[in-house]
Chain A
Amino acid sequence: MSAILRLENINYGYIDGGYRREILKNLSYDFEEGTFYTILGPSGSGKTTLLSIMAGLDKQESGKIYFEGEDVDQIGLYKYRRNKVGVVFQSYNLITYLNGLENVLLAMTETDNPLPKNKEEIAYALLNMVGIVNTKADRMVNKLSGGEQQRIAIARAIAGNEDLIFADEPTGNLDTETEKEIIKLFQMLAETYGKTIIVVTHSNEVSKLSDRRVLLKNGVLTDI
Chain B
Amino acid sequence: MNAFKRAWRYITRRPTKSLLLIITFFLIGNLVILGLGISQAADNAKVLTRKQMRAAVSYEVDYDKYYEYVNTLEDEDEINKAYQNYPRVSEEAAIAISQDERVKAFNYMMTTTAMSDGFENVPIGNEEERGTSSYVDEAGNEVVYREPNLMIYANLFPEMIEFEEGTFTVTDGKMYDQNDLDQERNVVLITDELAETNGLRVGDTIRISTLNTYMEQEFKAHNLDTEVFFLELEIIGIFHNLNMVDPNAENFRWMSAYESPQNILLMPMTAYRNYYRDTLRAQIEFQQIAYSDSSINVEEAIENNLAPSRVVYLLIDPLEVDQFVEDHQKDIGEYLKLNANNETFKRLARPLDTMSFFANIVVWIVIVNAIVIITLVTALTLKTREYEIGVLLSMGVSKVKVILQLFTELFILALLGFTLAVGSGSLMAGTVGRAVLDYQTASDSQYGEVEDGGYYWHDSTDYFTEVSQDEMLSQYEVSVSPLLIFEIYVLGTAVVLIAIVIPSFMIMRLNPKQILLEQN
Q: Which residues of A contact B388 (CB under 8 A)?
A: 95-97
Please tell me which one of the listed residues A82, A87, A97 contacts residue B9 in the complex, with CB atoms under 8 A apart.
A97
A7 interface residue (CB < 8 Å to B): no
A68 interface residue (CB < 8 Å to B): no
Give the distance in Å from the alpha carbon of A144 to the alpha carbon of B393 in the complex. 24
B396 interface residue (CB < 8 Å to A): yes
Q: Which residues of A contact B513 (CB under 8 A)?
A: 52, 57-58
Please tell me which one of the listed residues A48, A93, A107, A169 contacts residue B387 in the complex, with CB atoms under 8 A apart.
A93
Please determine whether A93 and B396 come into contact, CB atoms closer than 8 angstroms. Answer: no
Please determine whether B9 and A93 come into contact, CB atoms closer than 8 angstroms. Answer: no
Please determine whether B520 and A89 come into contact, CB atoms closer than 8 angstroms. Answer: yes
A186 interface residue (CB < 8 Å to B): no
Residue-by-residue, is A93-128 near B (CB-CB < 8 Å gives 1, otherwise 0)? 111111000100111111100000000000000000
Please determine whether A81 and B13 come into contact, CB atoms closer than 8 angstroms. Answer: no
Give the distance in Å from the alpha carbon of A98 to the alpha carbon of B9 in the complex. 7
| Residue in B closest to A80 when the chains form the complex, CB atoms | B396
Give the distance in Å from the alpha carbon of A97 to the alpha carbon of B393 in the complex. 17
A79 interface residue (CB < 8 Å to B): yes
Please determine whether B397 and A93 come into contact, CB atoms closer than 8 angstroms. Answer: no
Please determine whether B6 and A93 come into contact, CB atoms closer than 8 angstroms. Answer: no
Residue-by-residue, is B377-420 near A (CB-CB < 8 Å gives 1, otherwise 0)? 00000000001101111111110000000000000000000000
Count residues on chain B whose CB falls below 8 Å from chain A CBs. Answer: 25
Q: Which residues of A contact B520 (CB under 8 A)?
A: 48, 89-91, 168-169
Give the distance in Å from the alpha carbon of A221 to the alpha carbon of B517 in the complex. 22
B179 interface residue (CB < 8 Å to A): no
Please determine whether B395 and A107 come into contact, CB atoms closer than 8 angstroms. Answer: yes
Give the distance in Å from the alpha carbon of A206 to the alpha carbon of B266 in the complex. 113
Please determine whether A78 and B396 come into contact, CB atoms closer than 8 angstroms. Answer: yes
| Residue in A closest to B11 when the chains form the complex, CB atoms | A97
Please determine whether B398 and A105 come into contact, CB atoms closer than 8 angstroms. Answer: no
| Residue in A closest to B397 when the chains form the complex, CB atoms | A110
Please determine whether B1 and A105 come into contact, CB atoms closer than 8 angstroms. Answer: yes
A140 interface residue (CB < 8 Å to B): yes
Please determine whether B14 and A109 come into contact, CB atoms closer than 8 angstroms. Answer: no
Please determine whether A106 and B396 come into contact, CB atoms closer than 8 angstroms. Answer: no
Please determine whether B396 and A97 come into contact, CB atoms closer than 8 angstroms. Answer: no
Please determine whether A106 and B6 come into contact, CB atoms closer than 8 angstroms. Answer: yes
Give the distance in Å from the alpha carbon of A191 to the alpha carbon of B10 in the complex. 38
Give, as a whole number of angstroms, the nearest-CB distance from B136 to chain A: 106
A187 interface residue (CB < 8 Å to B): no
Give, as a whole number of angstroms, the nearest-CB distance from B32 to chain A: 30
Chain B interface SS verdict (over half)? helix
Q: Which residues of A contact B517 (CB under 8 A)?
A: 48, 52
Give, as a whole number of angstroms, the nearest-CB distance from B257 to chain A: 88
Given A98-B9, A140-B13, is A83 in contact with B396 using a C-beta cutoff of 8 Å? Answer: yes
Residues A190-214 near B (CB distance < 8 A): none
Give, as a whole number of angstroms, the nearest-CB distance from A57 to chain B: 4
Give the distance in Å from the alpha carbon of A97 to the alpha carbon of B516 in the complex. 18
Please determine whether B396 and A79 come into contact, CB atoms closer than 8 angstroms. Answer: yes
Give, as a whole number of angstroms, the nearest-CB distance from B409 to chain A: 11
Please determine whether B1 and A57 come into contact, CB atoms closer than 8 angstroms. Answer: no
| Residue in B closest to A52 when the chains form the complex, CB atoms | B513
Please tell me which one of the listed residues B10, B14, B387, B394 contacts residue A81 in the complex, with CB atoms under 8 A apart.
B394
Residue-by-residue, is B506-520 near A (CB-CB < 8 Å gives 1, otherwise 0)? 000001110011011
Give, as a whole number of angstroms, the nearest-CB distance from A126 to chain B: 15
Q: Which residues of B contact A93 (CB under 8 A)?
A: 387, 390-391, 394, 516, 519
Please determine whether B1 and A78 come into contact, CB atoms closer than 8 angstroms. Answer: no
Give the distance in Å from the alpha carbon of A110 to the alpha carbon of B5 in the complex. 12
Given A96-B388, A98-B1, A106-B6, is A91 in contact with B519 using a C-beta cutoff of 8 Å? Answer: yes
Q: Which residues of A contact B9 (CB under 8 A)?
A: 97-98, 102
Give the distance in Å from the alpha carbon of A89 to the alpha carbon of B1 in the complex. 21
Give the distance in Å from the alpha carbon of A55 to the alpha carbon of B391 in the complex. 13
B2 interface residue (CB < 8 Å to A): yes
Give the distance in Å from the alpha carbon of A168 to the alpha carbon of B519 in the complex. 12
Give the distance in Å from the alpha carbon of A55 to the alpha carbon of B393 in the complex. 12
Q: Which residues of B contact A79 (CB under 8 A)?
A: 396
Please tell me which one of the listed residues B2, B10, B395 contacts residue A97 in the complex, with CB atoms under 8 A apart.
B10
Give the residue among B1, B390, B394, B395 with the most A Cβ atoms within 10 A: B395
Residues A108-157 near B (CB distance < 8 A): 108-111, 140, 156
Give the distance in Å from the alpha carbon of A97 to the alpha carbon of B11 in the complex. 9
Give the distance in Å from the alpha carbon of A48 to the alpha carbon of B398 in the complex. 23
Q: Which residues of A contact B512 (CB under 8 A)?
A: 57
Please determine whether B396 and A82 come into contact, CB atoms closer than 8 angstroms. Answer: yes
Please determine whether A57 and B516 come into contact, CB atoms closer than 8 angstroms. Answer: yes
| Residue in A closest to B517 when the chains form the complex, CB atoms | A48
| Residue in B closest to A84 when the chains form the complex, CB atoms | B396
Give the distance in Å from the alpha carbon of A109 to the alpha carbon of B5 in the complex. 11
Please tell me which one of the listed residues A78, A80, A95 contacts residue B391 in the complex, with CB atoms under 8 A apart.
A95
| Residue in A closest to B388 when the chains form the complex, CB atoms | A95
Give the residue among A57, A96, A140 with the most B Cβ atoms within 10 A: A57
Please determine whether B395 and A110 come into contact, CB atoms closer than 8 angstroms. Answer: yes
Q: Which residues of B contact A106 (CB under 8 A)?
A: 1, 6, 395
| Residue in A closest to B396 when the chains form the complex, CB atoms | A82
Sample (14) of A-B pairs whose CB atoms are under 8 Å apart: A48-B517, A52-B517, A57-B512, A58-B513, A89-B516, A89-B520, A97-B9, A97-B388, A98-B13, A102-B9, A107-B395, A108-B1, A109-B2, A110-B397
- 5 A-B pairs with the lowest CB-CB distances in the bound complex, closest first: A82-B396, A81-B396, A57-B513, A106-B1, A97-B13
Which residues in A have some Cβ–Cβ distance to B below 8 Å?
48, 52, 55, 57-58, 78-83, 87, 89-91, 93-98, 102, 105-111, 140, 156, 168-169
Additional 5 contacts, C-beta under 8 A, given A110-B1, A169-B520: A58-B513, A81-B396, A82-B397, A96-B388, A110-B396
